[in-house]
Structure 1
Amino acid sequence: MASGMQHKNAISTATEGLIQAQLELYHHSLGYVKSVALRAATELGIPDAIHRHGGVATLSDIATETGIHPSKYSHLRRLMHALAVTGIFSVEGSDDDAEYKLTAVSSILVEGGESMCNLSPMVHVLVELLKLTMLCSIKEWFTDERASAMTLFEVAHGCTPSEMKAKKGTVGMFQAAMVADSNLVMEVVLKEHIGIFKGVSSLVDAGGGHGAAAAAIAKALPHVKCTVLDLPHVIAGAPTSRDVQFVAGDVFEYVPQADAILLKWILTMWQDEGAVNILRRCKEAIPAGGKVIIFDGVVDSGTSQDIILKETQVLFDIVMIGVDGVERDEQQWKKIFVEAGFVDYKITPVGHRSIIEVYP
């Protein structure tokens, strides 16, 4: 009798395990739906709508503010329910009486919000059909011999990311996303880690795009002479600034002299050979007491218990496969620093990225 009961319990446990496995599998498979729902919220301007209502808005408020057609009202409720369950918004009440509020996540999707950092443009860059199509081509890229000399993006779309941006006219969208990211990162760095600029009187933001990071440094530290180096077509679209000098050039060929060289989200775009070459140009540009300051990911070695941090870092690494880039752990960073001729470094984690100070 007892053995029969044990057998029944074992079957029940095995069945529960199968159902749990199925649940987890479907949860992973539907991850992209969370992303597109988030993108829809930013495109519709839902975070702004809630913000304009003092941080609390009903479905009716949101529909009116965003211009959603009355026939889609019930579907808006479903979208908002999903966004609340996944933590983008919070909700109190139910049905027509439900009131939606901004969370820490959605508060940085607001134009003119408290932090002054609107990351909606970054959502539009990270969540796009081109990237999804690219990542759905991984099997072909891994196995097709014809793809061996091509990036994953080229296999999926037949051109480079730069060529695609030019063809679709999305260069401005990409730069807006980089500016948004820089605004948030620099707000944190200049409040919590301003000491990294101690003793620096001149700085070059190499590959600095439209100069958001350099402008933030110049505003906070007026004594620092800030220069942005980037390709001619990028510099041509940059805003005029009295605080930042823009120089057109190629970081692989020459970096202007300065006490510090800033590389924000640049080296992740390159395999080791390219990253080492960039670092060598930077080493030539700084004095003996200078340094290179890198804002980039340092993939966790397994010590952190923050699953969101771990997943974000490895997911970024998969995205970087598409453009032949790479996210690195500390040992991989150390390898390219040594190869480029540097002798020491210091890593300070800041969210999913880190500040890496590298010394010649």
Structure 2
Amino acid sequence: MESNDGEDHSQKLLLAQTHIWNHFFSFINSMSLKCAIELNILDVVHNYGQPMPLSELIASLPIQPSKAAFVPRLMRILTLSGFFSNQNDDDQQEESNKSPLEMEHGRAFWEFASHDQKLGNSFHEAMTSDSRLIASVVIEKCKDTFEGLESLVDVGGGNGTMAKAIAKSFPNVECIVFDLPHVVAGFQGSSDNKNMKYVGGDMFEAIPSADSVLLKCILHNWSDEDCVKLLKKCKEAIMKKGKKGKVIIIDMVVGNENGDNGSLETQLYYDMAMMAFVTGKERTEKEWAKLFFSSGFSNYKIIPILMSSRSLIEVYP
């Protein structure tokens, strides 16, 4: 009974988090509508007189080719808001190499965060808070994912909140928190867990060898091209010792059939935020599968953590 009570409590916390996210991101609805009006999208579609192919809509808009990839994602949020209906679930267009933030200011979000201490601290605090909540749910609902592992690398693990929870719950798993050298510099040698350590490096260059690699809310920050590069490094890491381990991803799966409209709203809000600030996006199962197979993996399994607001994905070589 205690386990059920704890699980119910965690579920309620995640539902509360989704509720807060939706209120926090609600400005995206009005800003998306403002953008549609400024681009004259509503009149263009209305004057077409029949369902308009996305490719024709994009060609009709006064935008630079480099920004064409953003239109399908804008239309998706406008459709969820009820301003349009979609009669054909087309694949998204090719990606842009730069985010709107970088196009406007000449610097990527990560550069802003590394040079602006207040922004950087706020970002890391938010990630720490999220990891604290997600860790409790993942360990409760996905124990089988970690049982039997000998080692795990938490890529982009920051101060180690997620890895600490795993190391404590699974003392036989050697955990490595892997992040940029300046991020882990203050934590190296400070862990209270004997089965945990911090290592600095560049995830796009090489990842420490382990049975498993954890990517919590990492891949949604990056383009498909960068994700494939990173996943290939992950595959190298879990096969260095001649074993076939697994990659563990905690991220959103857009349109997961177990989700509700509130969760889909959260996903698309987050997708617009990823579009505006970084080069990443929230992905459907089809888009996730394309990444995995393009990176040389053979199979995957999706485990919803709470409806469709967050999922755990196991990926196998």
Structure-1-length-normalised TM-score: 0.60
- 1:348 and 1:339 mapped to 2: Cα distance? 21
Select the structure of larger CA radius of gyration. Answer: 1
The answer for the alignment partner of 2:132 in structure 1 is 183
- The 3 A distance-change label for structure 1 pair 304 and 196 is closer
Alignment-mate amino acid for residue 328 of structure 1? R
> When the two structures are aligned, how many residues end up with a matched partner?
241
The answer for the alignment partner of 1:192 in structure 2 is 141
Q: Is 1:356 equivalent to 2:313 in the alignment?
A: yes
The answer for the alignment partner of 2:227 in structure 1 is 275
The answer for the alignment partner of 1:44 in structure 2 is none
CA contact (8 A) 1:269 1:324 kept: yes
- 1:305 and 1:192 mapped to 2: Cα distance? 17
Q: Which runs of 5+ in 1 are unaligned?
A: 1-103, 110-118
Offset at residue 305 of structure 1 (A): 6.0
Q: Is 1:291 equivalent to 2:246 in the alignment?
A: yes
The answer for the alignment partner of 2:88 in structure 1 is none
Aligned counterparts, 1:6-45, within 5 A: none
CA contact (8 A) 1:134 1:156 kept: no
- The 3 A distance-change label for structure 1 pair 275 and 146 is closer
Q: Which runs of 5+ in 2 are unaligned?
A: 1-11, 40-61, 68-95
Offset at residue 146 of structure 1 (A): 8.0
The answer for the alignment partner of 1:203 in structure 2 is 152
The answer for the alignment partner of 1:216 in structure 2 is 165
- The 3 A distance-change label for structure 1 pair 133 and 168 is farther
Instruction: For residue 342 of structure 1, give the secondary structure of its aligned residue in structure 2.
Output: coil
The answer for the alignment partner of 2:100 in structure 1 is 152
The answer for the alignment partner of 1:261 in structure 2 is 213
- The 3 A distance-change label for structure 1 pair 283 and 307 is same
Offset at residue 133 of structure 1 (A): 9.3
Give CA-to-partner distance per residue, 1:187-242, whole Å, 9 cap, x none.
01111211101210110001111111101101111111000111112112447213
Instruction: For residue 356 of structure 1, give the secondary structure of its aligned residue in structure 2.
Output: strand
| Runs of 4+ with >4 A deviation | 104-109, 132-140, 144-149
Instruction: For residue 227 of structure 1, give the secondary structure of its aligned residue in structure 2.
Output: strand
The answer for the alignment partner of 1:143 in structure 2 is 63
CA contact (8 A) 2:204 2:230 kept: yes
CA contact (8 A) 2:249 2:313 kept: yes
Alignment-mate amino acid for residue 191 of structure 2? S
